Amino acid sequence: MLKNYSLTKDTLLVSSESNIKNSSVVYVYGDEREYIESFDHKYDLKIGNILTFDDQVAYDTMIDRNDEKSLLVSFLFSKIHEGGLLDNLTTSVVFLVFKNKLIIFTNHKLNSISELLSNMVLRDVNNFTEEVLLKIMQKDFHVMLNNLRGVKEKIDDLDSEISTPGPLRPTFGDLLTLRKYIIALSATYGANHKALDFIKKNFTTNNDIDFTTKKIIDEIYDTSDTMDKIILGYSQYLDALGNMINNMISYQLNMIMKTLTEISIVLTIPAIIFGFWGINVHVPFEKSSYGVFAVLIISVILSLICWFWMRRKKYL
């Protein structure tokens, strides 16, 4: 689907204009293969591949027919949701930056982009493409940071499950899900650093740096660094948590085996006694009507003696 936005004075407004040539910003999402292939063919790009694989950023400089420099740049937007497959935790956001037009591509509609583009007030209409791109990245990076902070709640829930007495079997699924998030997010943040370096290089110069543009880029860098630190801390904590779960399971298994061994030892005594009184020779109480009860009492007494002895030796 294509959504067009026109620049009216200093504000971006949703346009009903069907001709994208008259639009200032175009947001393309969903199945628009023909439109994407036209750009791939015209500028020798691979936008379709970037959107399909969602595992790396892309950036390049293009020269159009008017000898003007245009840019291709993408970044990875991470999504955290229940039951998501590893391949579905990230999506590519691709920008084609021309002098007077910005085209945005995503596989699926991102509400953060649509909401931001509607009624966006611009500071510098002469360089609106750069400003819109940076504001989208700024917004999406804040969304990713908030999503990442939401992982803490999932880790706290896992902590609670471990602290609650009982079997730890269900925690393996939760731990696996969290590790999956960490793998996807850490790869996403690392790749986005390269895209940020490319943007900073092309949007600013050493001699003439726009202060507001530089401030937005620096804020995006700060957000990215914050996410890197949080993801590193979560990763280390989950590693420690995984080791703790393994140790707790080993301890529970040892306690179960210890209990079974103790029961086996205590029950061995009655088995020996019953076996002794079952042999085909004369034994005590064989002619007594209370012989069975006598044998049972002897077995219980000896079993209790054995149990108390192991308690005293701290085997129990």
- Per residue in 97-133, pLDDT (tens digit) is 988 889 999 988 888 888 888 878 888 788 888 889 9
CA–CA dist 70, 271 (Å, integer): 89
Phi/psi for 191 (5° steps) reads -70, -35
Query: Which carries the bigger pLDDT value, residue 142 or residue 85?
Result: 142
Alpha helices by DSSP H, listed for 70-127, are 111-117
Give the β-pairing of 90-97 and 11-15.
unpaired
pLDDT mean over 272-294: 78
Is residue 39 within 8 Å of 104, Cβ to Cβ? no
Question: How many Cα atoms are found within 13 Å in the side-chain-facing hemisphere of 49?
Answer: 7
pLDDT above 70: residue 272:
yes
Say which residues have a Cβ less than 8 Å from residue 7's Cβ, sequence separation at least 6: 24, 25, 122, 125, 128
Out of 15-24, 51-60, 173-182, 306-315, give the one with best mean pLDDT.
Answer: 51-60
Provide the pLDDT for residue 84.
53
Q: Nearest CA to 59 among 42, 67, 47?
A: 47
pLDDT at 207 over 50: no
Could you tell me the two tokens for 103?
Answer: 């085209």
Backbone φ and ψ for 294, nearest 5 degrees, come out as -65, -45
Provide the CA 307 distance to its chain's centre, in angstroms: 51
Question: pLDDT-based confidence at 95, cuts 50/70/90?
Answer: very high
Look-up of token digits 């080993």: 250
Q: In 3D, which of 21, 4, 224, 24 has the Cα closest to residue 132?
A: 24
For 10-55, write each residue's pLDDT tens digit: 888 887 766 667 788 889 888 778 888 888 887 788 888 888 887 7
Residue with the two structure tokens 């995984």: 242
Tell the burial category of 43 from Cβ atoms under 10 Å away from its Cβ (0-12, 13-18, 19+).
Answer: middle
Instruction: Kindly state the average pLDDT of the residues 192-209.
Output: 76
**Overall size of the chain counted in residues:** 316
Nearest alpha carbon to residue 106 among 148, 57, 47? 47
What does the alpha-carbon distance between residue 69 and residue 134 come to, in Å, rounded to a whole number? Answer: 18
Q: For residue 113, give the amino acid letter.
A: I
User: What's the 3-state SS for 166-221?
Assistant: CCCCCHHHHHHHHHHHHHHHHHHHHHHHHHHHHHHHHHCCCCCCCHHHHHHHHHHH
